[in-house]
Amino acid sequence: MAIITKPASIRAVEDARQFAMPIVALGTIIAILYFGRLFFITAMTAVTIAFILEPLVTLLMRLRLPRSVASFVVCCFALACLYVIGLGAYSQLTGLYNELPVYGQRIGDIVVGVRERIQGVEKQTYQIFLPARQRQQLEEEEQRAQKAAEKKKGGKRGDTTPQLAVVVPPVDTGFAIGDYVYAHLNSFYQILLMVSFVPFLVYFMLSWRDHINRAFLQLFQGEARLVAARSLQGIAEMVRAFVVGNFLLGILLAFLSSGMFWMMHLPYPLLIGPLSGMLSLVPYVGLPLAMAPPLFSALGIHTVPVYILVVVSVALLHLLALNLLYPKIVGSRVHLNPLVVTFSLMLWGFLWDAPGLLLAIPLTAGLKAVCDNVKGLRPIGKFLGD
């Protein structure tokens, strides 16, 4: 029996096709995620909020409430909390807006002081390293430059020749400004439109959760259904551990930071405390981000001991949360190695900007859960793991 072998050219074409198809598919997925980022960010935000509110729905269901009623009550409670928080933030921001000129003046004074110190260091460096002749030449050049500037000013004051005013014809920029405003208003309208869908998405995700799970599993048959069920359960456990744990830790840090800043007599502790606590949870850059709001508020006092106290206290609270509270509250279910976390932050930050940085770890953890339960993708799951 003769064995028919394919020509080398045909085998090369098939190998190139098998190599190119995954690359084309990956590029297509990245393009869809990038150009549809507003839609995907809205959907992922709704999923994240649904994971945060799910324990409350489960608690109300234990009190014999139907899932739909429990979901409605929890969503209304969450909206009421957001409304109260918004009112408090608005009152704090109004007072901060009225004091912005004072803060701007303090920042200007700090910049001027730093500039003067740098110039002083430069002069001392010149005096140390430059020979006496060169220093004398530099001083003479500075004196000549000052005299020339004074003569120039004196000539301008003594010159009484009338100057003719140059009339510049107005440039019609109405269309350009109109296009600019229209483009930004259109983007703002799209963001508001997507945000308006979030409460409805959260409610339907909570009330129809069981139905969605059953309908999703019906798409698979046989062993594939078991794999899909395990993958779905793994994603839910990982994302819930990360999202709910970070949310509870952020609330705890917000209360601790607000109390700490209130004892320091910093202005607007109810505004900068939650901001500092939540920003402290951002991977890698959480510490400098958490220091920014209290340091800005400390400009109202503008004393060096207060600045030092703010930096030390925020750093200690951040290290305490990262080393003691984070492992206990968030747990060790999100097994991702640091290299993968860094690349995921870069990728999702590039695709979705700031929301991508916040959603990068749960998205990558969900991908790892899928790879761990699919037999052909387990090597990828091991690569992503710690």
Average pLDDT over residues 125-144: 66
Average pLDDT over residues 69-76: 93
In one-letter notation, the amino acid at residue 236 is A
pLDDT range class, residue 122, cuts 50, 70, 90 = confident
Summarised one tens digit per residue, pLDDT across range 279-332 is 888 777 788 888 988 988 888 887 888 889 999 999 998 888 877 777 776 655
Average pLDDT over residues 84-106: 82
In this model, does residue 203 exceed pLDDT 90? yes
pLDDT at 152: 67
The backbone region for 331, taken as left when phi is positive above 0, alpha when psi lies in -120 to 50, beta otherwise, is left
> What Å distances lie between residue 9 and 14, 15, 18, 24, CA to CA?
9, 10, 14, 22
Which of 50-59, 174-183, 190-199, 300-309 comes out lowest in average pLDDT?
174-183
- Full-prediction pTM beyond 0.75? no
337 secondary structure, DSSP code? -
> What Å distances lie between residue 94 and 86, 88, 111, 201, 271, CA to CA?
12, 10, 26, 32, 11
As a whole number, the mean pLDDT across the chain is: 79
Average pLDDT over residues 87-113: 81
pLDDT at 165: 46
What are the sequence ranges of the domains in the chain? 33-102+195-219
Q: What is the rounded CA–CA span in Å between residue 382 and residue 386?
A: 8
Summarised one tens digit per residue, pLDDT across range 344-360 is 888 888 888 888 888 88
pLDDT range class, residue 127, cuts 50, 70, 90 = low
Could you give the percent of the chain with pLDDT greater than 90? 9
| Closest-CA residue to 272 (of 250, 257, 286) | 257
In this model, does residue 2 exceed pLDDT 60? no
130 secondary structure, DSSP code? S
Measured in residues, the chain has a length of 386
Summarised one tens digit per residue, pLDDT across range 20-63 is 777 888 888 888 988 888 899 999 889 888 888 888 998 999 98
Q: Is the separation of the CB atoms in 270 and 259 below 8 Å?
A: no
Average pLDDT over residues 161-187: 53
pLDDT range class, residue 80, cuts 50, 70, 90 = very high
pLDDT at 305: 87
